[in-house]
Amino acid sequence: MSIAVGKKVPAFSLPATSDKQLALKDFKGKKLVLYFYPKDSTPGCTTEGNDFKELYPQFLKENCDILGISRDTIKRHENFKAKQEFPFELLSDEEEVLCGIFDVIKLKKLYGKEYLGIDRSTFIIDETGKLAKEWRKVKVTGHAAEVLEAVKSL
- Domain assignment present for residue 45? The answer is yes
- The answer to whether residue 99 is catalytic is no
pLDDT in tens, 83-114: 999 999 999 999 999 999 999 999 888 888 89
The model carries a pTM of 0.95
Q: Which of 3, 16, 32, 45 is catalytic?
A: 45
Identify the pLDDT of residue 2.
Answer: 65
Q: Say how far apart CA 102 and CA 67 lie, in whole Å.
A: 14
Is the pLDDT at 1 greater than 70? The verdict is no
Any residues with CB less than 8 A from the CB of 54 and at least 6 apart, and which? 144
- Residue 68 CB burial class (10 angstroms; 0-12, 13-18, ≥19): buried
**pLDDT of the residue at 110:** 80
Is the distance from CB of 91 to CB of 22 less than 8 angstroms?
yes
Query: What percent of the chain is predicted at pLDDT more than 90?
Result: 90
Domain range enclosing 57: 31-144
Q: Is residue 94 one of the residues assigned to a domain?
A: yes
Task: Judge whether 9 lies within some domain.
Answer: no
Within a domain: 26: no
Give pLDDT tens digits for 125-142.
999 999 999 999 999 999
